[in-house]
Amino acid sequence: MAQLTLDELRKKRKEAQKGIYLREGKYKSKIIVHMGTCGIAVGAREIVTAFLEEIEILTEKDVILTTSGCAGLCSMEPMATVELLNSPSVKYGNLTTDKARRIFKEHILGGNIVTDYAIGIGSEKGG
Amino acid sequence: MSDKVGAVAVLGGGISGMQAALDLAESGLKVYLVDNKPAIGGVMAQLDKTFPTNDCAMCTMAPRLVEIGRHKDIEIITLSDIEKIEGEAGNFKVILNKKPRYINEEKCTGCGTCITNCPTRNKVQPIEKTKVELEPQFKDKVTEIIRINKDRKGPLMTILQQINSTFNYLPENVLNYVSQEVGYPLSHILKIATFYSSLSIVPRGKHIINVCMGTACYVKGSGRLMERLSDVLEIKENETTPNMLFTLKLVRCIGCCGLAPAIMIGDNVYGKLTPKDIPGIIEKYKTII
Amino acid sequence: MAVRRIELMLCTGTGCVAGGAFRISEALEKEIQKQGLEKEISVIITGCNGFCGHGPLMLVQPDGIFYGFLTPEDIPFLVQEHFLKGRPVKKLMFSPPEKKEPVPLLSEIPFFKKQLLIVLRNRGIIDPEKIDEYIARDGFTALEKVLTSMTPDDVINEITRSGLRGRGGAGFPTGTKWKICRAEQKMPKYIICNCDEGDPGAFMDRSVFESDPLSAMEGMIIGGYAIGASHGYIYARSEYPLAIKRMNLSISSAKDYGLMGKNILGTDFSFDLEIRQGSGAFVCGEETSLILSIEGRGPEPIQRPPFPAQSGIWGCPTVINNVETWATIPVIINRGADWFSKIGTETSKGTKIFSLVGKINNAGLIEVPMGITLKEIVYDIGGGIPDNKKFKAVQTGGPSGGCIPYSMIDIPIDFESLIEAGSMMGSGGMIVMDEDTCMVDVAKFFIQFTNDESCGKCTTCRDGSEALHKVLTDITNGDGKEVDLEFLEEVGNAIKDASACGLGTTLPNPVLSTLKYFRDEYEAHIKERRCPALVCKNLIKYYILPEKCTGCKLCLKNCPPGAIKGELKHIHIIDQSKCTKCGTCLDVCPPKVSAIIKVSGKEMENITGIEEPYPVKRKGGKNET
């Protein structure tokens, strides 16, 4: 490899930071896909893949994706919870990959709750 | 103590002998200062500085030398060996064997002209050196190691480490060869080879077992691991099993203190051991041949 | 780089590797493949995480969940439950000994809570074998800053103002050292990184190079710029193969990127690094002797002055600093001297890494701000002493340090306080000792160590340590005399006064400090022929309590010299004439029976070991099994 100049090093750093953003705990929004047995059975895995693909095209990587267990509302699976920083979390149900992509674009990037699919605002604990 | 009777022989004309002779002579006794060297002065005359104060050696002894030379009651007898001592305290008889000096000491002024004009002095006395050849099993690897490292600054350590890790020890002839090729005296190479604990000049086993004796391992009982290993292998520390499989060594901390007590076999670390784990581990290595 | 949903930060420091970390990573990869998760989850191999006592261990990001004591068998379950179904597995989490509920988050574990990571800022976060990850964590920003906006004098001033002191033990101000070296006219100049970590019980240098090798190297390059050197050496112990491997990798990738070598980042500053290995000699950690060792000369310390900063390797001005010092440099440059000097105490700035080991629950590597009390380290971070044993002392400073007793547990940890307590900072080993540790035996251990490692140049050190060792051996063998204690003090002080290098002048510290704080233990050995901690073999006997022995034959079968007599359901007897006091019987006796005890002093007189085994008889004739 050729030697780096100062600018190339800075560019490289920006590039590399995308690779490790998960470890630094800095993120603006968080998507939780509920992956209980019921969720997996009706396609939660595809939802995860869809979200991942959307994250991949982002230039600013500030979205993290995690999974959790069954949310208890098995009839509405696959479900996902979206948490934006400083605002209550929103639960979506009966997801498909297309719905997931729309939620990603409108809610996570745009900041507008997709009321068509939302089944509840706020989490059980926080109210 | 008013009248001093008799004479004293001081055997050895080093710095302590000289001081003793002066003290005795000052107190009024006749002193014979005997040395088997051509001159008095001893080891201190060869030193630049003395330990631990780093005082100049010659500054300490030169005044004493001069004083002894001048003292009327001190007789210096050099180039002499003790033949026989008989008698008892207060009444000794000493027989000396004085070697020839070929110079009339009475007349010599110590001008040094004879030294500068001596025809045989300063002649180089060549020692016949035979060229060292390596045994075939060492040749390729050793020449390669020397080739890679020879032009680095301070190559000796690296060369010795690589030879040591390749053959598990430093064969004598290889050291001769290194001395010849890299240009360090053999004595220096041996000094280095014997100073460091991971270099060895005797053959060692295929698997080197290092028992960590760091503080953490020690307080958690690595001494007992050592005993057990020694029991199981039937060798003591720093020994090698007759089948050349294992060498047992003690090492000062391998830095795995969180796993204390630990041992290291080759590059593998085994931690949190108790003596009863030992036989199993050894058994495993016996099968890796 | 493809996006992942979960990253598994698997520790591969030497400790965890010994515990099978690479087997864990194989098992993880396999199971992730099997579940079809390979596009969503990646396993990142990181350096030492510090919590070595709980290895092999792993941190799950971005959740921050910590798993310890992993085995390959746990992996399939873990992958399915947590990574597929999102249910963290409680049984693999850290649980504090006194509480039943495990602590899932790494950030909540007390061991990590009180630490302040500066030198170890990247531990467990980056893959030490990938330079890109170091760059991503602000790697080489300090070098950029130095090369573009600071003169060498600016750099030295910044370091001086930060109050950074050498982390190798002596605590010499780093800025001052650099200044002396810069002022020297002679060229070329050299940089050396001292990674000959000989102190038993210390492994911070190894850990830094295993988890974040480039931070120390960046520090060295900056140092080179500051003093005007273009060549550096890292002197590493040959006992650290993994660290050396990672150093080599880092050097070659940094050279590829032009961050090392000729014309760094297109400037006219060049700097090259070379690794030299030690061969197992403790004295080579002393700076003059380390330099001689690199040169291939006999590594016997030489008199200072001249200091290496004036005349070091190949007779040229040389700055030699410890790994930890070098790794601190980039942070100081990045965040400024003011920020750094706010951490710590008046005279000791910043943080220090300690290896907290020995008889402690949470053994591992910790980085704490200077001035923290010993109590906080032992009880809050270390989690106290295992098995509810009593804390006796902490040994700091390696063989040159001393033992700090329980009564002084509130002292703040900084250079001056430790010296006042008769110990020293040293490279940062902290070995915790409990009531089962015999202080006379510990003193003997250290003297044996220094006696072995003395290069033999100074008579006081070479023969003095021999004399101390002989007397201490006599005491632990039960042949001590009362005058011995005075003798130890006298000889100890003489060695201190008359040796040339640091090894000799500090060698008697373990003896003198234990004599000061634990004189009663020495006296028990001498006057009562009793070892209070039941360690010294000649002063103890093993004994089977007849009221507890169930006659299970376990000890009998395991006894190496065959010194135990007995048969099934018969009280076993130890034949004292055959017993080698290896302690195997004590290890194998089941904890609920615990019939074997050690006794010392007067109690030994009644134990002869000549009785014959007799049947076990308990209440109502019922036997326990």
Q: Give the H or E element holding residue C6.
A: strand C6-11
Q: Do chains A and C touch (3 or more CB pairs under 8 A)?
A: yes
User: Strand, coil or helix: what is C384?
Assistant: coil
Residues C269 and C372 in one domain: no
Domain that holds residue C233: 131-341
Please tell me which of the candidates A10, A40, A48 has its beta carbon nearest to residue C40. A48
DSSP A107: I
Q: What is the pLDDT confidence band of residue C620, given thresholds at 50, 70 and 90?
A: very low
Residues C252 and C306 in one domain: yes
Answer whether residue C519 shows pLDDT above 80. Answer: yes
Q: Kindly determine whether residue B154 and residue C500, on different chains, have CB atoms separated by under 8 Å.
A: no
Residues C387 and C329 in one domain: no
Phi, psi of A67 (to 5 degrees): -120, 160
Domain boundary among C410, C434, C458: C434
Q: Kindly determine whether residue C582 and residue B195, on different chains, have CB atoms separated by under 8 Å.
A: no
Which B-chain residues 44-63 have CB contacts (< 8 A) with chain C? Answer: 51-52, 54
Rg of chain A over CA atoms, in angstroms?
Answer: 17
Domain boundaries of chain B, sorted by first residue: 7-115, 136-195, 207-287
Q: What is the pLDDT confidence band of residue C614, given thresholds at 50, 70 and 90?
A: confident
Q: What is the pLDDT confidence band of residue C617, given thresholds at 50, 70 and 90?
A: confident
DSSP C84: I
Dihedral sign for Cα A101, A106, A112, A114, please: negative
Angstrom distances, CA of residue B254 to CA of B184, C54, C226, C502? 32, 18, 34, 22
C335: in domain: yes
Terminal alpha carbon distance of chain C: 61
Rg of chain C over CA atoms, in angstroms?
Answer: 27
Q: What is the pLDDT confidence band of residue A2, given thresholds at 50, 70 and 90?
A: low
- Reported for C168-171, long-range contacts at CB under 8 A and 24+ positions apart, including other chains, are C168/C194, C168/C285, C168/C321, C168/C322, C168/C324, C168/C325, C168/C427, C169/C322, C169/C397, C169/C398, C169/C400, C169/C424, C169/C425, C169/C426, C169/C427, C169/C502, C170/C502, C171/C348, C171/C415, C171/C425
A contact chains, 3+ CB pairs < 8 A: C
Residues C252 and C172 in one domain: yes
pLDDT of residue B50: 82
pLDDT of residue C369: 93
Residues C384 and C331 in one domain: no
Nearest of C432, C415, C424 to residue C378 by alpha carbon:
C432
Q: In this predicted structure, which of A93-102, B76-85, C522-531 has the lowest mean pLDDT?
A: A93-102
Crossing angle of helices B222-233 and B278-287, in 10° steps, is 50
Mean pLDDT of B156-173: 91
Angstrom distances, CA of residue C477 to CA of B6, C372, C511? 52, 39, 17
Q: Among all chains, which residue has been given the structure tokens 């010296």? A: C419
pLDDT of residue C241: 85
Q: In this predicted structure, which of A110-114, B222-226, C546-550, C586-590 has the lowest mean pLDDT?
A: A110-114
Q: Give the number of other CB atoms < 10 A from CB of residue C301.
A: 23
User: Strand, coil or helix: what is C552?
Assistant: coil
CATH class label, B7-115: alpha beta
Q: How far is A115 from chain C (nearest CA, A)?
A: 26
Which chain C residues are within 8 Å of B268, Cβ to Cβ? Answer: 18
Angstrom distances, CA of residue C305 to CA of C108, C219, C273, C321? 49, 26, 27, 17
Dihedral sign for Cα B247, B248, B251, B255, please: positive
Please tell me which of the candidates C52, C278, C358 has its beta carbon nearest to residue B219. C358
Answer whether residue B1 shows pLDDT above 60. Answer: no
Dihedral sign for Cα B267, B269, B275, B277, please: negative
The answer to whether the beta carbons of residues B24 and B40 sit under 8 Å apart is no
Residues C419 and C278 in one domain: no
- DSSP states along C386-427: GGGPPEEEEEESGGGSEEEEGGGTT-B-SHHHHHHTT---TT
B205-259 pLDDT, tens per residue? Answer: 889 999 988 888 888 888 889 988 998 899 988 899 998 899 998 888 887 777 8
Dist CA C577 CA C263 (whole Å): 74
Domain boundary among C527, C548, C570: C527
Answer whether residue A94 shows pLDDT above 90. Answer: no
Mean pLDDT of B198-205: 90
What is the maximum span of chain B, computed from C-alpha positions, in angstroms?
86
Mean pLDDT of A89-117: 84
Which chain C residues are within 8 Å of B256, Cβ to Cβ? Answer: 14-15, 18, 52, 203
DSSP A105: I
C138-176 pLDDT, tens per residue? Answer: 899 999 999 999 999 999 999 999 999 998 877 899 999
C299-357 pLDDT, tens per residue? Answer: 888 888 889 999 999 999 999 999 999 999 999 999 999 999 999 998 899 999 998 98
B286 touches chain C (CB under 8 A): no
Residues C401 and C274 in one domain: no
Q: On the CB side of C313, how many CA atoms lie within 13 Å of its CA? A: 24
Domain boundaries of chain A, sorted by first residue: 24-121
Q: How far is C579 from chain B (nearest CA, A)?
A: 14
Nearest of C431, C420, C417, C425 to residue C401 by alpha carbon:
C425
Conformational region of residue C28, where left means phi above 0, alpha means psi within -120 to 50, and beta covers everything else: alpha
Conformational region of residue C138, where left means phi above 0, alpha means psi within -120 to 50, and beta covers everything else: left
The answer to whether the beta carbons of residues C294 and C235 sit under 8 Å apart is yes
Answer whether residue C293 shows pLDDT above 90. Answer: yes
B267 touches chain C (CB under 8 A): yes
Q: What is the pLDDT confidence band of residue C517, given thresholds at 50, 70 and 90?
A: very high
Name the percent of chain B lying above pLDDT 70. 96
pLDDT of residue A122: 64
How many whole angstroms from its chain centre is CA C330? 24
Our CA dihedral for C228, C230, C235, C241, rounded to 10 degrees, sits at: 140
Nearest CA in chain C to A26: C62
Nearest CA in chain B to C499: B52
Name the percent of chain A lying above pLDDT 70. 88
Q: Among all chains, which residue has been given the structure tokens 């995690």? A: A66
**CATH code assigned at C409:** 3.10.20.600
C436-455 pLDDT, tens per residue? Answer: 899 999 999 999 988 988 88
Q: How far is A27 from chain C (nearest CA, A)?
A: 10
The answer to whether the beta carbons of residues B104 and B136 sit under 8 Å apart is no
Pick the CATH number of A24-121 from 3.65.10.10, 3.90.550.10, 3.40.30.10, 3.40.50.300: 3.40.30.10
Q: Give the H or E element holding residue C110.
A: helix C110-113
The answer to whether the beta carbons of residues C318 and C189 sit under 8 Å apart is yes
**CATH code assigned at C32:** 3.40.30.10
The answer to whether the beta carbons of residues B145 and B139 sit under 8 Å apart is no
Which chain B residues are within 8 Å of C442, Cβ to Cβ? Answer: 215, 218-219
Mean pLDDT of C519-541: 91
Answer whether residue C231 shows pLDDT above 60. Answer: yes
Q: Kindly determine whether residue B215 and residue C558, on different chains, have CB atoms separated by under 8 Å.
A: no
Q: How far is A41 from chain C (nearest CA, A)?
A: 11
Dihedral sign for Cα B9, B15, B18, B19, please: negative
Dist CA B80 CA B105 (whole Å): 14
Residues C97 and C231 in one domain: no
Dihedral sign for Cα C448, C449, C454, C460, please: negative
The answer to whether the beta carbons of residues B159 and B178 sit under 8 Å apart is yes
- DSSP states along chain B: -----SEEEEE--SHHHHHHHHHHHHTT-EEEEE-SSSSS-TGGGG-SEETTTTEEHHHHHHHHHHHHHH-TTEEEE-SEEEEEEEEETTEEEEEEEEPP-SS-TTT-----HHHHH-TTTT---PPP-PPP---HHHHHHHHHHHHHHTTSSS-HHHHHHHHHHHHSS--HHHHHHHHHHH---HHHHHHHHHHSTT--SS---SEEEEEE--HHHHHTTHHHHHHHHHHHHT--TT-B-TTS-EEEEEES--S-GGG-S-EEETTEEE-S--GGGHHHHHHHHHH--
Nearest of C372, C437, C364, C360 to residue C97 by alpha carbon:
C360
Dist CA B179 CA C145 (whole Å): 48
Name the percent of chain C lying above pLDDT 90. 43
Which chain B residues are within 8 Å of C303, Cβ to Cβ? Answer: 54
Strands C391-396 and C402-405: antiparallel
Conformational region of residue C395, where left means phi above 0, alpha means psi within -120 to 50, and beta covers everything else: beta
Residues C318 and C219 in one domain: yes
Length of chain A: 127
DSSP C172: -
B94 touches chain C (CB under 8 A): no
Dist CA C21 CA B178 (whole Å): 41
Q: Give the number of other CB atoms < 10 A from CB of residue B84.
A: 9
C209: in domain: yes
Which chain C residues are within 8 Å of A37, Cβ to Cβ? Answer: 85
C contact chains, 3+ CB pairs < 8 A: A, B
Q: Which of C484 and A106 is assigned the larger pLDDT? A: C484
Which chain B residues are within 8 Å of C14, Cβ to Cβ? Answer: 254-256, 269
Which chain B residues are within 8 Å of C277, Cβ to Cβ? Answer: 157-158, 161
Please tell me which of the candidates A9, A15, A24 has its beta carbon nearest to residue C140. A9
pLDDT of residue A126: 38
Dihedral sign for Cα C256, C259, C262, C264, please: positive
On average, the pLDDT of chain C sits at 88
- What is the dotted CATH code of the domain comprising B207-287? 3.40.30.10
Answer whether residue B115 shows pLDDT above 60. Answer: yes
B264 touches chain C (CB under 8 A): yes
Nearest CA in chain A to C61: A23
pLDDT of residue B151: 87
Domain boundary among C434, C453, C483: C434
Q: How far is A54 from chain C (nearest CA, A)?
A: 10
The answer to whether the beta carbons of residues C41 and C83 sit under 8 Å apart is yes
The answer to whether the beta carbons of residues B205 and B169 sit under 8 Å apart is no
How many helices (H) and strands (E) in chain A?
Answer: 5, 5
- DSSP states along C508-527: THHHHHHHHH-HHHHHHHHH
Which chain C residues are within 8 Å of B228, Cβ to Cβ? Answer: 560, 582
| Residue C321: strand pairing partners | C193
Q: How far is C135 from chain B (nearest CA, A)?
A: 28
Crossing angle of helices C519-527 and C439-453, in 10° steps, is 100
B contact chains, 3+ CB pairs < 8 A: C
The answer to whether the beta carbons of residues A89 and A122 sit under 8 Å apart is yes
User: Strand, coil or helix: what is A49?
Assistant: helix
